[in-house]
Amino acid sequence: MATELLYMESIAACYDSEFSATVTAIAEDNVVLDRTLFYPLGGGQNWDVGHLDSDIGKTTVTEVRGRGDVNHFVGEDHGLQIGDEVQGTIDWQRRYAHMRMHTAQHLVSGVVYEMFHGTRTVGNQIHADRSRIDFHPIKFDAEMLERVFTSAQEIIESELPVTCSTMTRDEVNQIMPPERTNMDLLPISVKQLRVITIGENFDLCPCAGTHVANLSEIGELELLGKKNKGSMVQRISYTLK
């Protein structure tokens, strides 16, 4: 049975930092749990770190990967066995930084799409200290970027709520154009989508990442720079204050 992803249940669940679980599989350097709050690498977002407490003591989780069975990398001398009960704790500072950064990515992507005639987000990387978004087709100049970040900051200050729901492809496509939500990148076998919505459909996007409950939590956006990444593809880097 696949690992239950506890943070997927709601936006509120993204704020949880402690959970209980059972070890269901082991390897030399990692363990699989029946349920977890640890976010595994995916969707451009980096993984959570933290530790697992059990009868043998505290075990540090340094990396988390996988879909289905989620692998928690804990080193070769972890000593855990199948059936062991553990108490997991994630690094909250890192998790919250990812939540703010990922929500900011949705916001900036939405602003660019609306401002520049359907320019798409074709890649992103979410880290705790800085993040980046790749856009196509576009060539930003300084004035364009100032407009984007000024508009995004004004929307942050409007304190729009961020919500999570489950929708079908057709339901999403009735609200947003498929090219805006990158629907073509999702496996056709996935019928029920976890959808993150900003405000009343200011932005709506299928996403398995972690997010804040209100845009005001993002704080202040700061542009770090831009870089050409191919024909009409530009990468924008940013951080948060």
CATH 1.20.1180.10 assigned to 4-90? no
DSSP string, 161-172: BEEEEEEEHHHH
C-beta atoms surrounding 65 within 10 Å: 13
The answer to whether the CB of 83 falls within 8 A of the CB of 23 is yes
Q: Which amino acid is at 64?
A: V
Of 208, 234, 227, 37, nearest to 106 by C-alpha is 208
Res. 188 pLDDT band, cuts 50 70 90: confident
| pTM, entire model | 0.95
The answer to whether the CB of 135 falls within 8 A of the CB of 234 is yes
- Same fold flag, 4-90 and 99-240: no
The answer to whether the CB of 120 falls within 8 A of the CB of 136 is yes
Measured between alpha carbons, how far is 173 from 171 in angstroms, rounded to an integer?
6
- What confidence tens digit (pLDDT) does each residue in 70-90 have? 999 999 989 999 999 999 999
Of 126, 75, 100, nearest to 14 by C-alpha is 100
Pull the structure tokens for residue 178. 């498929």
Q: Which amino acid is at 208?
A: A
Q: Which amino acid is at 57?
A: G
Residue 185 scores a pLDDT above 90: no
CATH of 99-240, one of 3.30.980.10, 3.30.70.1400, 3.40.50.150, 3.30.420.40: 3.30.980.10
Res. 239 pLDDT band, cuts 50 70 90: very high
Domain ranges of the chain: 4-90, 99-240
- Low-confidence winner among 24-28, 52-56, 165-169, 182-186 (lowest mean pLDDT): 182-186
The stretch 15-34 carries a mean pLDDT of 97
Residue 28 scores a pLDDT above 80: yes
Tell me the residue ranges of DSSP E strands in the chain. Answer: 4-5, 18-26, 30-33, 35-36, 50-54, 57-61, 63-65, 71-73, 85-90, 120-126, 131-136, 162-168, 192-198, 203-206, 221-228, 234-240
Confidence (pLDDT) at 190: 82
